[in-house]
Amino acid sequence: MMVSDIPICHTCGEQVGVDTNGEVFIACHECQFPICKVCVQYDIKEGRNVCLRCGSPFDKNLLMDDTKTSGNQHTMASHLSHSQDVGVHARHVSSVSTVDSELNDESGKPIWKNRVESWKDKKNKKKRSTVKTEQEAQVPPQQQMEEKQISEEAVVTHSFSSVYPIPSSRLTPYRIVIIMRLIILGLFFQYRITNPVDSAFGLWLTSIICEIWFAFSWVLDQFPKWFPVCRDTFIDRLSARFEREGEPSQLAAVDFFVSTVDPLKEPPLITANTVLSILAVDYPVDKVSCYVSDDGAAMLTFESLVETADFARKWVPFCKKFSIEPRAPEFYFSQKIDYLKDKVQPSFVKERRAMKRAYEEFKVRVNALVAKAQKTPDEGWSMQDGTAWPGNNPRDHPGMIQVFLGNTGAHDVEGNELPRLVYVSREKRPGYQHHKKAGAENALVRVSAVLTNAPFILNLDCDHYVNNSQAIREAMCFLMDPQVGRDVCYVQFPQRFDGIDRSDRYANRNTVFFDVNMKGLDGIQGPVYVGTGCVFNRQALYGYGPPSMPSLSKTSSSSCSWCGCCSCCCPSKKISKDPTEIQRDAKREELDAAIFNLREIDNYDEYERSMLISQLSFEKTFGLSSVFIESTLMENGGVAESANPSTLIKEAIHVISCGYEEKSAWGKEIGWIYGSVTEDILTGFKMHCRGWRSIYCMPFRPAFKGSAPINLSDRLHQVLRWALGSVEIFLSRHCPLWYGFAGGRLKWLQRMAYINTIVYPFTSLPLVAYCSLPAICLLTGKFIIPTLSNLASTLFLGLFLSIILTSVLELRWSGVSIEDIWRNEQFWVIGGVSAHLFAVFQGFLKMLAGVDTNFTVTTKAAEDTEFGELYMVKWTTLLIPPTTLIVVNLVGVVAGFSDALNGGYEAWGPLFGKVFFAFWVIFHLYPFLKGLMGRQNRTPTIVVLWSVLLASVFSLVWVKINPFVNQVDSTTVAQSCIAIDC
């Protein structure tokens, strides 16, 4: 092999060298991580006996005897010669950056700056290793072997996290009941189909269709929970590895994204608390940057952020000095606990009082800004210098960026550096599609890449504050773990909420989803992305695949495509590609080749580098910005120290221009994916299709907390938005029913879970029909089930018992309460017959007629009284279907009892099944009825009008039926009239 083909050592920056046979030296045969022999020997003597990339242990015998490398002499050569066959979604080329001048090593320093020092350090390493060898010679060989073995085991086995499955004593009965329920369902449908009700064939057929769909939905929901797991993290090990005393912190940097649109519906005080909790996280300040996206270009948001930055100078040092939790001042000061507990500092009480007084003053200033913004001046808003606010027209304004804090900004009151805080409002012009929240998030991705370029990104809604100051460290236990983090695209935290009534009337907490379903998905390929509280690997957002994933042109992955757990249960098979997939792979190989060739351009000047990037077609993928494109090639993140801040700001303004994404892959293959109002599902789905896996992290103290719309109307509108997004995905090219089969990277159970997320709104159609059947049966005197035999009664009883047992066993392994499951079941019916039904019709209208639906942001603030918003009723058309179903079933129950009273003793038997069916509907809709009535004696007028109207209609039907009068045959009447002797 030619000397020019020898890769560069990642540690010292020199060539890795050759062994005694003249072949390239290979330290790790698992991933071919480029590192020279001297650096490997030094790492081993320092107790670091594992590969920095993949975590595989080095072979010490291999290092002592280079002749043993001949068996693998073609490994590195094959890796280099065939690296172009990998494709853009599998960048496992050399970890040396394609722009070496801007690559950061573990400590965050550029390698090009350390080249000269590393060259001098090589001799020092040899001297230190010689001295250490002499010292070790004085220790008995047996003790040396034991100490080395313990050190190696500690490095290899002490991972930053652990996975422990659910105990088999709880999981095995759960799985057995699921299988039994499947068998009972089969026998149940065999009986139902073979025993039609001829007297009510239409009702019977409708019920059969509905029940089959319900069973199908249950299968989609149940089986992705087949492999639930739980995880533990070890933050102390993470700190011991990356935060050594006397050395700079080697923890990875994190960019926080906070999104807001309308400051009148998303109050600035709530956004300010979120930002303050981010700035005060327990993480190195130079590793934290907070980007606030103001997609409404509101001067109120900008001014409130100015006040927030000023208050942060006092708040952040207070939080870190006394280690308080949570670090959002509004929620910290509102805690009803003894704040003196475990606080031994004598100055704490005094400083806490002063801080509370300062926060109250801060609230007064922010609320004054809000009151001022209620009425917009005719000439528009003006800034302090008298110039017009650029965002006076929120649909036509330039891009705006303002850096408030950071290494070049203000320090805190103690003189310490604060995390960077950046205000961003992307450019908007008429005639351009801005893609709402997904477009705003993609703009933040580009801005952050130009200004800070942290390797990880955490996005939060403006109303979700950091409740656990060590949440970032929890995520880093997975993302920075050399054995776990290589293939992790994101770490998802569960959503927790404040301000919800104790009974959780409308299932706002979504406990069943976050504590049951997401644990099940974590055992397959990972939880779905839920839109907030998620830490991303930036490289995954750029459309790349995991380093360990083979090319799509090869056979499918060795892991099982069903569960992802083994390679023996499903045989591998070749994947047949269509022409579009072949063309897509060709483009990926072209881009990957460009990335590989860019390793040699570190000696080029800026103009030559930008020309080469343009020629290599990166602009077709990432857009027309050479600075941003270079940032995408830095797998470890970072910005060149030689970069001019003013130049970077100009480039940041450029990448948020409204036309930047045109003719690029933004929203199609990279970043947040467009095409649905629920961009979170699409984004996570695309990553899983590329072969990434995700992690579900549930720390004991909730990582983030938010506020939820707790009144009935806002809750239904929120559910409507989610359901409409699922319908849009179902009608798009990204539908999990047919997208992403090439390569077999998406596990079957994971695909089943995604199918469930996009078809659940369609359950509303059979659900509305099924909830109408009890009233129809009671009013007509017919029923959907024939007279039950002993076998049929046993099947019905077994079905009900299996349903109950499934829920009980889920309670055992998940830890949720029976009340949570019942509330979830109730709102499944309430949302199904209202919001989901409207979402289906609106989705088809949007596809067929192009009728788009504009959503308003739900209000985040509540009334002054506790749970005051719970009793507010805002009239909306979503309330019509469930109101109608309640009234119809109540009238049906009255009609049924009337018929039974009129029909005698024999009529009470058939009445039992019908009334039970009707009460099933009424009990499930009871929270809706309670919410519809509002406070006592405050029933909305529209509800009264609806009730009177529906009661009048059914009264007329009731008179027509006339159940209390015996039906007399007309022929009998005629004969009796003839017999009368007049």
Checking if the pLDDT of 714 tops 70, the result is yes
pLDDT of residue 869: 55
End-of-domain residue from the set 650, 685, 704:
704
Lowest mean pLDDT among 321-325, 656-660, 867-871: 867-871
Q: Which helix (H) or strand (E) holds 501?
A: none
Q: pLDDT-derived band of residue 281, with 50, 70 and 90 as boundaries?
A: very high
Can you tell me the mean pLDDT for 233-255? 88
| Domain boundary residue, one of 63, 83, 116 | 63
Q: Is 436 annotated as a binding residue?
A: yes
Q: Identify the pLDDT of residue 162.
A: 87
Q: Answer whether residue 674 is part of any domain.
A: yes
- Phi, psi (5° rounding) for residue 281? -65, 155
Say which residue the tokens 């992802």 belong to.
564
Look-up of token digits 């039609």: 196
pLDDT at 82: 36
Long-range contacts of 31-34 (CB under 8 A, 24+ apart): 31/56, 31/92, 31/547, 32/75, 32/76, 32/79, 33/95, 34/7, 34/8, 34/9, 34/10, 34/94, 34/95, 34/96
Q: How far apart are CA 584 and CA 690, in angstroms?
A: 13
658/604: higher pLDDT:
658
Range 586-605 average pLDDT = 48
Domain annotation covers residue 477: yes
Token reading at 666: 């933004």
Confidence band, pLDDT 50/70/90 cuts, at residue 14: low
- Name the range with the highest mean pLDDT among 728-742, 850-864, 921-935: 728-742
R_g (Cα) of the chain, nearest Å: 33
Element of type H or E holding 473: helix 471-479
Q: Is residue 968's pLDDT more than 80?
A: no
Of 640 and 469, more confident: 469
Active-site residues, by number, are 295, 680
Residue 212: which pLDDT band, with cuts at 50, 70 and 90? Answer: very high
**What 3-state DSSP class applies to 491?**
strand
Q: What are the CA-CA distances from residue 107 to residues 225, 251, 305, 485 (Å)?
A: 40, 8, 32, 18
Contacts of 449 (CB under 8 A, 6+ apart): 538, 628, 631, 632, 655
pLDDT digits (tens, 9 = 90+) for 532-585: 999 999 989 988 888 776 544 433 333 444 454 443 344 434 444 445 455 445
Average pLDDT over residues 819-845: 88
* Res 10: pLDDT: 62
DSSP secondary structure of 566-592: -SSSS---PPP--HHHHHHHHHHHHHH
Distance CA 273, CA 282 (A): 16
pLDDT tens profile 641-678: 666 777 888 888 999 988 888 888 888 888 999 988 88
Residue 437 in marked binding region: yes
Q: What is the pLDDT of residue 54?
A: 62
Computed over every residue of the chain, the mean pLDDT equals 75
Q: How far is CA 175 from the centre of its chain?
A: 27
Residues 6+ apart with CB under 8 A from 68: 61, 62
DSSP letter at 844 equals H
Output the domain CATH number for residue 42: 3.30.40.10
Report the share of the chain in percent with pLDDT over 70: 69
Hey, what amino acid is at 807?
Answer: S
620 is known to lie in a ligand binding site: no
pLDDT in tens, 873-901: 566 778 888 888 888 888 888 877 777 77
Phi, psi (5° rounding) for residue 673? -85, 135
List % helix, strand, coil for the chain (3-state, nearest 5). 55, 10, 40
3-state secondary structure of 944: helix
Residue 507 domain boundaries: 251-297+388-546+667-704
Is 265 annotated as contributing to ligand binding? yes
Tens digit of each residue's pLDDT (9 = 90 or more) over 394-440: 888 888 898 887 666 677 788 888 899 999 999 888 888 888 888 99
With pLDDT > 90 as the criterion, what percentage of the chain qualifies?
21
Tell me: is residue 747 an annotated ligand-binding position: no
Greatest mean pLDDT among 799-808, 909-918, 921-930: 799-808
The domain boundary residue, chosen from 679, 704, 729 = 704
Residue 410 is assigned to a structural domain of this protein: yes
**Would you say 160 and 233 are in contact if contact means Cβ atoms under 8 Å apart?**
yes
Please indicate if the annotation marks 372 as binding a ligand.
no
Q: Is residue 253's pLDDT more than 70?
A: yes
Mean pLDDT confidence for 239-264: 88
Q: What is the DSSP letter of 490?
A: E
Asked if residue 147 is part of any domain, the answer here is no
Task: Quote the pLDDT of residue 932.
Answer: 66
Q: DSSP letters of 284-305?
A: -GGGEEEEEEETT--HHHHHHH
Q: In terms of Cα–Cα distance, which of 801, 544, 831 is closest to 716?
A: 831
Residues 767 and 832 sit within 8 Å (Cβ to Cβ): yes
pTM: 0.75
Please check the confidence at residue 379 and state whether its pLDDT lies above 70.
yes
Question: How far lies 500's CA from each of 464, 550, 708, 869, 876, in Å?
Answer: 14, 47, 8, 10, 22
Give domain status of residue 947, yes or no: no
Residue 696 has pLDDT above 70, yes or no: yes
678-712 burial, b at 16+ Cβ within 10 Å, e below that, comes to bbbbbbbbbbbbbbbbbbbbbbeebbbbbbbbbbb
- pLDDT at position 121: 47
The residue among 413 and 70 whose pLDDT is bigger is 413
Provide the CATH number for the domain around residue 539: 3.90.550.10
Provide the domain count of the chain.
2
The DSSP string of 198-257 is GGGHHHHHHHHHHHHHHHHHHHHHHGGGSS-EEEEE-HHHHHHHH--TTS---PPPEEEE
Per DSSP, the residues of 48-74 read --B-TTT-PBP-HHHHH-GGGGGGGTT
In a domain, 718, yes or no: no
> Does 176 fall in a domain?
no
**Domain membership flag for residue 931:** no
